[in-house]
Amino acid sequence: MLRVRVAFLAFLLFGLAIAYRILDLQVIEGEQWKSLADEIGLQYRTIKATRGNIYSDNGSLLLTSLPFYKVALDPSVSEESVFKKDIDSLSYRLSKFFKDKRASDYKRMIEAARLKGREYIVINAEEITYQEKKEMAKWPLFRYGRMKGGVIFEKVDKRFHPFSYLGYRTIGYVNQSNEGAGLEYSFNQYLAGSSGEALFRKVAGGRWRQVYDGTEIRPENGLDIMTTIDVNLQDVSQDALLGALKEHDADYGCVVVMEVQTGEIKAISNLSKTSSGGYAERYNYAVGSQGLTEPGSTFKLASMIALLEETNISLDDSIETGEGEYQYYDRTMPDHKPGGFGKITVKEAFAKSSNIAISKLVYAHFGTNPQRYIDFIKGMGLGRPLGFQMVGEGHPYIKETTDKTWSGVSLPWMSIGHELTMTPLQTLTFYNAVANNGKMIQPIIVKATVKAGQPVKTFDSIVLNKKICSDKTLEEVKLLLREVVLDGTASNIKHSHYPIAGKTGTSQKLINGRYTKKYYTSFAGYFPAEAPLYSCIVVIDNPKGYRQYGSDVAAPVFKEIADKIYASNLQMHPPMPDDLYVDETIFPVIRSGNLEDLTMICNQLGVSNHKKSGKEWVKTKTEANYVNWVSNDTRNGLVPDVVGMSLRDAIYILENQGLEVRYSGIGRVKKQSASPGKKAVKGSKIYLDLG
């Protein structure tokens, strides 16, 4: 009798709760209602929204939410006849699926809960997938659904990375306490959506079960975000960085690839050594405060611009650098080359990265008024945060003459990239401005928020500085950056089919106020040098072994990335000579291929053809109303000409040369990324454009 009265009271209060909620009455105060609702086991609880997806620049999924389900049961709702008929079969299915209990154990657990009048039991703590849920919903007893069969599938959203650990730190995370990192955290306000609310009733075991009373507020799912990340470039960059870190046993490294004109970041990778000796993405050194460090010689570009803009020096002027050491007050500055460079031109000083030459020039022209140098550096846009879209950007530091640590050696050391700090992304933004004809733009990594495929809010790059220097100075520093690769510290990466411009950096690490024998190596630059499409920075921290300079450690990574971008982008390639293309005549389909196959096709179609070649692979030469077969050179070790071939034939020939084929489009080969006759490097990729 007491149980019936309690149930009736709960029903009455439940009805009042609905009425007050619908009519928005305020007779009962919030805390009073909460206390009353808790006493009878009723409570309005939050229903989380499904988070939005994160996409790459071409719509590939970088992060999404996948639904998983916990399986529970209200064993009290099903009719006795249905329950008795299905319980054995259901118990068998559960035992076979979860493989943790015998069928008799499941049957005993469910029957005991039904006998006690329990309205909620967890069948198994293991979560199931959506496909498994669909199949399970067809099982005995479960097939009658929630109201008649008692089955309860409780949805649990889990974040899933389709590309595994590719760009893992950049994509980021948000934990239960709403703390996190990367894009997940930085764009949480868009991705999270709006939570809903519904009435829940407390059931046995202290669990809460939703009451479907019609008053629930449905959650609004989060927006998707479209990033600028190119999955292929991300993969290339991360792979190249990982290889160098392993080779040099370095502590950490990062790479950022940016599109010059738009400021869009196409790849960003950060890898640091783990306790097991491997490498993983654990911190965003390219952006965050832990990546703030003395940039070293890459900062010499800023000093050179200041000299060319504020003084009357010429690149052909000479300067004496001595024998490798120069004294500033109580400190000795070593040059990049032991033994020194002697007397060299300004152009040579930059290309060979002479510390003494650059510092002497800056000190000679700004020494009496160092604040003038600092004001110019800051006037270009250095020394300020970029306002990057991701939370946690490090604040750069450019020392002022009013700083307590300012001394007589501050200016010469600053001129070569010491006694100041910048993040790799801030350095890259500066180099990108040079590549972009002086316009410094804010890097961007998210282009838009999207709902149901339609943009909700778009993000554009902001111009940080319309012109960092004059056109004359720009042309001169572009020449200097090109000279670094042609005949300077990065000459080891000049052997390529396209020109690279950039600057190496090697700086001793400052630890506890002292410079150590640990080095921070870097290379920042852009390519192709004459018409830049991409800028890139590579940083590798504390490489071990005898190679510890930016030219030996970071520059080769830059070139590897640039080479792979070049190979995959046909628009960057010079047009092939006209004589390599087949003339368009009355035979538009017959281009190139296997002699036996093509002869058979022509004979079947009644096309006159002449065998002037005994080779297996041929190209066509059409004359009037007949076809001549001309030998197609497929010698070992050389890139063959596959233009005009079917994809099948092209793949066969190219793979026999050890090349890895990538293609796009349909039809016959229209273009190939590597020119015929050049050396075929086994394992390298060749890209085919079909049409």
Query: Which of 317 and 193 is assigned the larger pLDDT?
Result: 317
Q: What is the pLDDT of residue 467?
A: 97
The answer to whether residue 20 scores a pLDDT higher than 80 is no
Q: What is the pLDDT of residue 373?
A: 98
The answer to whether residue 14 scores a pLDDT higher than 60 is no
The model's confidence at residue 49, banded by pLDDT at 50, 70 and 90, is confident
Q: What is the pLDDT of residue 665?
A: 78
Taking residues 481-504, what's their average pLDDT?
92
Least confident of 161-170, 262-271, 309-318, 464-473: 161-170
The answer to whether residue 303 scores a pLDDT higher than 70 is yes
Q: What is the pLDDT of residue 25?
A: 43
Dihedral (CA of 569, 570, 574, 580) sign: positive
CB 525 within 8 A of CB 532: no
The answer to whether residue 588 scores a pLDDT higher than 80 is no
Strand partners, 162: none
User: What distances in angstroms separate CA 259 from CA 72, 237, 386, 461, one per listed residue?
Assistant: 51, 14, 16, 11
The answer to whether residue 120 scores a pLDDT higher than 70 is yes
Q: What is the pLDDT of residue 606?
A: 61
Interval 156-210: pLDDT, tens: 888 998 888 888 889 999 988 888 999 999 999 999 988 777 777 766 555 666 6
Q: What does the mean pLDDT of the chain come to? A: 85
Looking at the chain, the whole-number percentage of residues with pLDDT higher than 70 is: 82
Q: What is the pLDDT of residue 591?
A: 64
Q: What is the CATH number of domain 575-690?
A: 3.30.10.20
Query: Which of 54 and 589 is assigned the larger pLDDT?
Result: 54
The answer to whether residue 106 scores a pLDDT higher than 90 is yes
CB 461 within 8 A of CB 329: no
Q: What is the pLDDT of residue 237?
A: 95
Taking residues 670-681, what's their average pLDDT?
80
The domain made up of 235-571 is a member of CATH 3.30.70.1530: no
Greatest CA separation for the chain? 107
CATH number for domain 46-227, candidates 3.90.1310.10, 3.30.499.10, 3.30.70.120, 3.10.50.40:
3.90.1310.10
Domain ranges within the chain, ordered by starting residue = 2-40, 46-227, 235-571, 575-690
The answer to whether residue 460 scores a pLDDT higher than 80 is yes
Q: What is the pLDDT of residue 446?
A: 97
Q: What is the pLDDT of residue 8?
A: 44
The answer to whether residue 433 scores a pLDDT higher than 50 is yes
**E strands present in 289-390:** 318-320, 325-328, 331-334, 343-345
DSSP class of 404: T
CB 389 within 8 A of CB 459: yes
The model's confidence at residue 26, banded by pLDDT at 50, 70 and 90, is very low
What's the Rg (C-alpha) of the chain? 34
Query: Which of 241 and 654 is assigned the larger pLDDT?
Result: 241
Interval 201-239: pLDDT, tens: 766 555 666 666 666 778 888 999 999 999 999 999 999
Query: Which of 414 and 567 is assigned the larger pLDDT?
Result: 414
* Residue 178 φ then ψ, to 5°: 60, 30
Taking residues 282-290, what's their average pLDDT?
95
Query: Which of 668 and 515 is assigned the larger pLDDT?
Result: 668
The answer to whether residue 339 scores a pLDDT higher than 70 is yes
Residue 5, C-beta contacts closer than 8 angstroms, at least 6 positions apart: none
Query: Which of 584 and 623 is assigned the larger pLDDT?
Result: 623
Q: What is the pLDDT of residue 38?
A: 56
Query: Which of 286 and 498 is assigned the larger pLDDT?
Result: 286
Q: What is the pLDDT of residue 1?
A: 37
How far is it, in rounded angstroms, from Cα 581 to Cα 93? 66
- Per CATH, 46-227 and 575-690 having the same topology is answered no
Q: What is the pLDDT of residue 594?
A: 72
How far is it, in rounded angstroms, from Cα 416 to Cα 362? 10
Least confident of 17-26, 367-376, 493-502: 17-26
Query: Which of 134 and 512 is assigned the larger pLDDT?
Result: 134
Q: Pick from 172-186, 384-398, 586-600 the range whose average pLDDT is largest.
A: 384-398
Q: What is the pLDDT of residue 203?
A: 66
The answer to whether residue 583 scores a pLDDT higher than 50 is no
The answer to whether residue 663 scores a pLDDT higher than 70 is yes
**Alpha carbon 581 to its chain's center:** 38
CB 629 within 8 A of CB 609: yes
Q: What is the pLDDT of residue 6?
A: 39
How far is it, in rounded angstroms, from Cα 20 to Cα 199? 13
CB 50 within 8 A of CB 64: no
